[in-house]
Structure 1
């Protein structure tokens, strides 16, 4: 490697480190005061937004999303939110995050009319932006792990929501979030379009958003 090439590589590495560090600093700084692990510290909001994660082929929830749903239901039962919005991926018939999350919330005692499903929550930006445009949510609590919460709340506020974050007991892995915040800051800045759909206001009946009856796995 020549001295010139080595210098270029060093400049690129320094620039990358500065970009990653800067993006993380911005996202964490502007959301730190909006995050808590205590439900009682939150202002009341219209809905809890629960981003999807691993759901097994038999419809059972992975550990990460199970904790998100449990935390959101506890928040709902405490009266801090009026509705639950289960937002996840249903890109394949055998991968239906929202219905599995909804079924778990119903089994935990949430009223059917208070549980909404969003089948196009392909990533966090889609989940929070569609919460605003499709479900007409104006105030929300995003329920996720401590590592992911700064990015999720930052995106929710960029989407036009009066958003707070409630963190689950599981802190979650932090390594990949360091890079995810760079992408998240880009989405919060550029605000790309998301998949649309008919408006289903969050103050209505959640069952209008269901694609199928509870208890059925897959398509």
Structure 2
């Protein structure tokens, strides 16, 4: 009996490893031609989607999300995108990724009407699905670090976006991403519902998406 149980445990472990490997290979193969570290290789698109990450208690950006915002701003300045969509977590009143990201973009000189905020970007699938369903995005450059770029673009395309990925540095947790791609494949396949909301057309004025009035900023 013990031997049977041991063999069963080994079988489950092997199966789990195979599932993880298959999911990672699938995601990378589906997006390899769509992800680049070279901003000059990016096709023009409606918007740069900037997924959120850690914001400190004083409202300053953590290193990962700062890289993303800076890369998105550079795309905007180069004329590759016309808008920025800052999508992150604001599930608690005291924690607000989108506003911190927006304020950093404004401080860098981006026009207020070109910066949109999405306060329900609780994970990558929420961000991409809401970009399509709520903001009416059709084409986008997803700006994120190398480990998460393939999954982010795969989910964006599953959400109905003509998406490319621009690598914003090598930060992030590569090991964690190996398992995150398994969840990503499930989401891309099942396409679960996300938090909805009234339409906020990306073709309009970004300030219509703001939950709070941005403070006065001086371009840096």
TM-score range for the pair, normalised by the shorter chain length:
over 0.9
Counterpart in the other structure of 2:144: 144
Counterpart in the other structure of 2:13: 13
Q: Quote the offset at 1:27 in angstroms.
A: 0.3
Counterpart in the other structure of 1:67: 67
Structure 2 distance, partners of 1:65, 1:214, is: 19
Whether the 8 Å contact between 2:145 and 2:169 is mirrored in structure 1 is yes
Moved more, 122-131 or 162-171: 162-171
Question: For 1:12-161, what aligned pairs fall within 5 Å after superposition?
Answer: 12-161=12-161
Moved more, 164-173 or 111-120: 164-173
Q: Quote the offset at 1:175 in angstroms.
A: 0.2
Whether the 8 Å contact between 1:64 and 1:170 is mirrored in structure 2 is no
Structure 1 distance, partners of 2:91, 2:12, is: 37
Structure 2 distance, partners of 1:171, 1:53, is: 11
TM-score calculated relative to the size of structure 1: 0.97
Q: Quote the offset at 1:5 in angstroms.
A: 1.0
Counterpart in the other structure of 2:215: 215
Q: Quote the offset at 1:93 in angstroms.
A: 1.0
Structure 1 unaligned regions, length at least 5: none
SS in 1 for 2:49: strand
Structure 2 unaligned regions, length at least 5: none
Q: What whole-Å deviation, never above 9, does each CA across 1:55-89 have from its counterpart, x for those lacking one?
A: 11111000000000000000110000000000001
Structure 2 distance, partners of 1:37, 1:172, is: 15
Q: How many residues align?
A: 216
Structure 2 distance, partners of 1:156, 1:208, is: 23
SS in 2 for 1:198: coil
TM-score calculated relative to the size of structure 2: 0.96
Structure 2 distance, partners of 1:169, 1:187, is: 25
Q: Quote the offset at 1:2 in angstroms.
A: 1.6
Whether the 8 Å contact between 2:47 and 2:141 is mirrored in structure 1 is yes
Question: For 1:168-187, what aligned pairs fall within 5 Å after superposition?
Answer: 168-187=168-187
Whether the 8 Å contact between 1:117 and 1:210 is mirrored in structure 2 is yes
Q: What whole-Å deviation, never above 9, does each CA across 1:144-179 have from its counterpart, x for those lacking one?
A: 000000000000000000000000123432100000
Whether the 8 Å contact between 1:142 and 1:165 is mirrored in structure 2 is yes
SS in 2 for 1:49: strand
